[in-house]
Amino acid sequence: MKAAAFRSVGGPEVMEVMSFPDPQAGPGQVRVRVKTAGVQHYDCGLRSGWTPQGVAIQHPQIPGNEFAGIIDQVGEGVTGFHVGSEVLGFALLNCYAEYVVVGADQIVSKPGSMTWEEAGGLTGNGQGAYIAMKAIGVGPGDTVLIHGAAGSLGAFAVQLAKEWGAATIIGTASESNHDYLRSLGAVPISYGEGLVERVRALAPNGVDAAFDTAGAEAVRASVELVQDRNRICTFVAYELTEELGLRVIRSQRSAARLAELVDLHSKGKLRIHIRQTFPLEMAADAHRLIETRHGRGKIVLTID
């Protein structure tokens, strides 16, 4: 099979298309012919030399941790899926490839109303936003601050906060993305100097919870604005969590949670904006684009 992988750590230029043996589904597993694979900062971190706890990197390594495609092989003991089932799912690695093998508990059915691009880009950031919003207790009546709200992770967080009853959702973004945030139900606000004062002007009664997808400056601003530090979460500036007395919250994905997100999409309550798609052969360009940390929505690889 063809896959985009890296033989050594480095910049986006180390990504190249290589040939690998076709994986085979074992007991309890399915093999999926991948049609789309989402691109995440997690993938870029692995390529750059970061090794998450409990993850074994073997060069050449295929990155990618979310995908959508069609099952073409079913292992012994699998029920509920068959050859030809259209699915989306997750894995820690190996999704930038023509085939991926995963446990049957790592996939859900793709509804016909969801495009392949949307399906390939839902799993990672969708579940990450879900976990973050639940961890900081977002619920009815809350005023919530979301940093980097126009990106894929932030946009999911805005929509979930709205679905779960938040009264006011303030989202930071560049001015070119303010109309987009309004369309999602957020009050947009610009980054940069004076952020704390601008947020206080919008929320004179205070901010109940904050989620950061932007970095250190955003986390420090959140600490000034949110009284209860247990209601602040960052998925970027982990190096500040101990210094500022914040909890470390990491994504733990599940098929049940993914199915809930798919249901919200089917009901028209969760939009997935696709910023740009790239063919597998241009995985390096996809990494370059996501590493700019600018722009709205999701970047997805398409695999022919």
Measured distance CA(136)–CA(132) in Å, rounded:
6
pTM, two decimal places: 0.95
Please confirm whether the linkage preceding 63 is cis (ω < 30° from 0).
no
Angle at Cα 149 formed by Cα 254 and Cα 94, nearest 5°? 40
For position 99, what pLDDT does the model report? 98
Long-range (24+ apart) CB contacts under 8 A made by 238-241 are 240/216
For position 249, what pLDDT does the model report? 85
Please give the biggest Cα pair distance in the chain: 60
**Is there a contact between 77 and 4 (Cβ–Cβ < 8 Å)?**
no
Question: What are the tokens at 288?
Answer: 């370059």
For position 119, what pLDDT does the model report? 98
Give 180's contacts (C-beta < 8 A, 6+ positions apart): 150, 173, 273, 296
What residues pair up with 38 in beta bridges, in sequence order?
300
- The DSSP secondary-structure symbol of 13 reads G
**What's the chain's Rg over C-alpha atoms?**
19
pLDDT truncated to tens, each residue of the chain (304 aa)?
A: 999 999 999 999 999 999 999 999 999 999 999 999 999 999 999 999 988 888 999 999 999 999 999 999 999 999 999 999 999 999 999 999 999 999 999 999 999 999 999 999 999 999 999 999 999 999 999 999 999 999 999 999 999 999 999 999 999 999 999 999 999 999 999 999 999 999 999 999 999 999 999 999 999 999 999 999 999 999 988 899 999 999 888 778 999 999 999 999 999 999 999 999 999 999 999 999 999 987 899 999 999 8
Measured distance CA(53)–CA(114) in Å, rounded:
33
Measured distance CA(218)–CA(76) in Å, rounded:
48
**Is there a contact between 122 and 272 (Cβ–Cβ < 8 Å)?**
yes
